[in-house]
Copies of this chain bind each other. A is one copy, B any other.
C-alpha cells in the first residue's frame, strides 16, 4: 500500500501518475472507513481526492498556502498532511475535526466552517506575503455552491486588486448541498460546455485570469493545469469540473443525500433506522406545505439547506413556485423576504442559527427598520444543536434579541411552536423570529396561546411564592424539573413562568413578583452575555430581588458532549438548586 509511506506531502513527490491514481483509490478506502463508521461529509470529499493529491504534488505546502472554503472537503488534505491515522485507524478517529484546524497542523491556516470565506482569508495571506516581500503561492479552493455567497463574490472582486500571485481553484461539481440556484450557474454550465471558452466568463469579468480543466478527477490533467499556474504573478482562476461523490455509486447518483451522511453499511449504503419518527423538520415541512396550498401568498424560503425544515426534493416539487431556495445567499434571503412581506406576501425563511449570523445587517436594516412582517425560523438554535466550533447555535439570542422591532419567540413544546408559527404567518404587523425547539419533540395536553399580538406577556404555568423560575424555550423542561426539586427540598412551590418572548419584558408581571418573591432564576439555551437573563437582571437591579441567571458561558465550544457542557455551566436542577439555595459557587 502506497499510503503506508505517506507521512507528509513531500512523500508523494516521487510518485508517478499511475501511482498517484492508485493512491487516490487507497485514500478513498480510508475515507470510506471513517465515513461509514463516523458519518460526515461524503460527496464533497470523494469528489476532490484527485484534485487534492494534484495540489500537494505540484505545490509545497505549507510554504504554499491552501485555504479550503467551508473546509468540509479537506479530508484528503488531512490524510496527506500527517493525519491519515484519523481515517485508517478507528482508534484515531477522534484526532481530527471535520474541518481545517490550525491546532492540528501547520498545513491548516484557519478554522473554517462557514461558506464563502476562503478567497478573502487567502487574500489576507497573499497581501501579507507581498508586504513582507516573501514568496510562495496562495491558493483558495472553493466549490461552485459557495460562489453564490456575498462574501465570496466580494473576495473574487477584490482579488484582481492584489496584482500578484493568487490562485483560486473553483471546484465545480454542479451542486450545492441541493441543486444550485442563481444566474451565475448558467455561466458555469456554459463554461463547462464550451471547454472554458464561452463568451461571457464571470471570472474574467471580475478581472481574473482563467483556465479550465474538463476532467477534475484526472490527476494528469490536474497536475498539468496546476503546474501551469504555479508561481504565476497575477490572480487567476483554475476552474475544475469534478464529480461529486466519485468512487461510490450511491453517492454519485443521490448527490443530495450523500452531501453529508450518517454512519452506514458500505455494502448497501444504508444507515440504521433513525430514532422514532417525529422531528421538527418533517413537522414544519408538513405544516408549511398545507399553508402554502391553502394560501398562495405564503412562500417558504431557504438558503441552500432545504432539508433543515424537511424539504426533500419531492416536497420542494410539491411546493412549486412557492418554494424558493436562494442558494448560499442569506443576506439576499432576508432582504427579499422583507420585499415579499412589504407587498403582501407571507414569507417564511428558515436556516440554522449559525447561518443567521450572516444576516445581521439585513435583519436590522432591510427587515426591522421597515418592520415588514416576515417569519424567520431559527434551526439548531441550542446547545443540543450542532457541535462543531463553526456551527454552534448558541449565539442567536445575543445576536438577534437586541435588534429593535424584532419579535423573537421561544416555544417550549410542539403545540406552542406551531401556534406561534401560525400566528406569525397570519399577522401583518411584526417581523417575527421563532426558535425551532431542538431538544426532542415535547407535546403538551395544556392549551397554548394562539394570539401573540400583545407583545411580551409571559405565561405563568404554576403560581407559587418566594422563588420564580423564568424557563425560556428549550430549557423549559429543566425549569419544570427544578420547580419540582425546589418544592421537594424547601416545601414551598416556586412560580414557574414560560416567558415566550425573548425580545421584551413583561414589566407588569415582573413588578408583581416583587410582592411575594425574593428570588428569580432565569434559564436560557444560549450564552448569557447579551441574552435573556441579563435583561431580567437589569430590570430587578435597583430592587431587593435576587436574580440568578443560568445559561452558557461566552465561549466557542467544539465537538462537545452536551451533558458535559450542561454540567460545566451548572445547568442541572441539582446544581442550580445548590448554587441558589446553598451558596454554591456559580
State the A residues within 8 Å of B (CB).
65, 67, 102, 109-114, 117, 119-132, 148-161, 181-187, 199-202, 204-208, 235, 296-297, 299, 321-322, 324, 326-327, 329, 331-345, 347, 357-358, 360-362, 364-366, 368-370, 389-390, 395, 398-399, 401-405, 527-531, 533-535, 537-538, 540-544, 546-549, 554-556, 580, 586
Contact = CB atoms under 8 A, between A and B. Distances in A.
Contact of A542 (B403, B529, B586): B586
B402 A395 contact: yes
Contact of A556 (B130, B361, B405): B405
A312 to B, nearest CB: 20
A270 to B, nearest CB: 34
Q: Which of A120, A160, A186, A556 is the most central at the interface, judged by chain B CB atoms within 10 Å of its CB?
A: A120
A366 B206 contact: no
Given A120-B332, A148-B154, A340 B127 contact: yes
Contacts of A543: 546
A361 B351 CA distance: 14
A187 B200 contact: no
A519 to B, nearest CB: 8
A102 B343 CA distance: 12
A184 to B, nearest CB: 5
A368 to B, nearest CB: 8
A330 to B, nearest CB: 8
Nearest to A187: B205
Contact of A297 (B132, B185, B299): B132
Count of chain copies:
2
A340 B556 CA distance: 22
A385 to B, nearest CB: 15
Contact of A158 (B202, B299, B329, B345): B329
Given A534-B538, A537-B537, A336 B158 contact: yes
Contact of A184 (B199, B207, B546): B207
A113 to B, nearest CB: 7
Contact of A154 (B321, B332, B340): B332
B338 A121 contact: yes
Contacts of A538: 528, 533-534, 537, 547, 549
Contacts of A186: 160, 207
A462 to B, nearest CB: 22
Given A129-B343, A343-B124, A183 B207 contact: yes
A182 B161 contact: yes
Contacts of A390: 365, 369
B326 A158 contact: yes
A521 to B, nearest CB: 10
23 contacts: A120-B336, A120-B362, A124-B341, A125-B340, A132-B343, A150-B152, A151-B331, A151-B335, A157-B183, A158-B181, A158-B327, A158-B336, A160-B186, A161-B183, A183-B208, A185-B207, A202-B202, A369-B390, A398-B402, A399-B399, A537-B538, A537-B541, A542-B586
Given A124-B345, A336-B123, A151 B151 contact: no
Q: Lowest 9 CB-CB distances: which A-B pairs, in order?
A: A124-B339, A150-B150, A183-B207, A160-B183, A120-B335, A402-B530, A541-B547, A153-B153, A360-B360
Contacts of A150: 149-154, 331
